[in-house]
Amino acid sequence: MRESSVPSPIVRAFFDRPTGSLQYVFHDPKTRHGAIIDPVWNYYPEAGAVTTESADEILDYVQAEKLTIDWILDTHPHADHFSAGPYLKEKLGAPHGIGEKVTEVQKIWKKLYNLSDDLSTDGSQWDRLFAEGDTFMIGEIPVKVMFSPGHTLASITYVAGDAAFVHDTLMMPPSGTSRADFPGGNALDLWNSIREILALPTQTRLYIGHDYPASGDAPQYMATVAEHRLCNRHVKDGISKDEFLAARQARDATLKLPARMLEALQVNIRGGRLPAPESDGNCYLKKPIGKFSPR
């Protein structure tokens, strides 16, 4: 039974099927104050087009539920979709936050893209850079920030009452965990982050960042700490660190880069903004050639 003293937010998931990305709105049922986590700005690489249907679906929900949004939160700079944080900030007036280690990710990818000095790497594209142990309130629900590196070196988890938004650390238990082979990622860091997450109270609801269901099937996106410890294929109780590292690294060695990665990181290190328009008034993205393996 859930501890009555632990606040329990209402959580609504939104799914972007082309990228398998899960976005969340959670709110305090008493005050109807809420936060948005990892919103998607839709990108169509075949056309070089961006649209806002996913973010607009979130806006429609916020309006229908009469919510006051206090924060728009990124868990990390995503490699598969553009962040809709700036768009939602403009529409809702809420500040935009991410973990403080984003500055290290900015430095890595600024070098990989050979970007000019017009890209600041101090995290100033966000309104707040959260540190390990930071706390804030959403209505009457306390939110604590956990530093959760591994998938990226900047990843953080938001623990809101009895719900934790664990981004790309865990998948659903049958699928295990997320990859740790991107620049700045590290499988040992991922193991340590997951062990900290799985030390949360057993009934804590863990909301993941991705699912990849068959066409027409609904995504799965939440399992409790207890469920992961019982049956997560990579990190359930009884699996050792060495077993995890061997399995995770072997799996990562077979994976291709996400289809939108080289575009997405270029936007997301800017906080979800396109590069400045060039002399013709249009924005352009660039790709490093020969720096990654096609696998």
pTM: 0.96
23-37, 63-77, 116-130, range with the lowest pLDDT: 116-130
- Whether residue 138 contacts residue 26, with contact meaning beta carbons closer than 8 Å, is answered with yes
Picking from 289, 265, 285, 263, the residue whose alpha carbon sits closest to that of residue 276 is 285
CB atoms within 10 A of CB 202: 13
Structure tokens at 199: 């030390």
Burial class (CB in 10 A: 0-12, 13-18, 19+), 86: buried
Whether residue 114 is predicted with pLDDT greater than 80 in this model: the reply is yes
Q: Where are the domains positioned within the chain?
A: 10-268
Burial class (CB in 10 A: 0-12, 13-18, 19+), 273: middle
Class of domain 10-268: alpha beta
Q: 129 - beta bridge partners?
A: 98
- Summarize pLDDT for 266-280 with one digit per residue, the tens: 999 999 999 999 999
* Residue linked to tokens 């019982």: 230
For 229, the enclosing helix (H) or strand (E) is helix 225-231
Does residue 7 sit in helix, strand or coil?
A: coil
Q: What is the mean pLDDT of residues 72-79?
A: 97
Residues with Cβ within 8 Å of residue 15, at least 6 apart in sequence: 21, 22, 23, 211, 218, 219, 221
pLDDT of residue 101: 98
Confidence bin at 1 (pLDDT 50/70/90): very low
- Summarize pLDDT for 211-266 with one digit per residue, the tens: 999 998 999 999 999 999 999 999 999 999 999 999 999 999 999 999 999 999 99
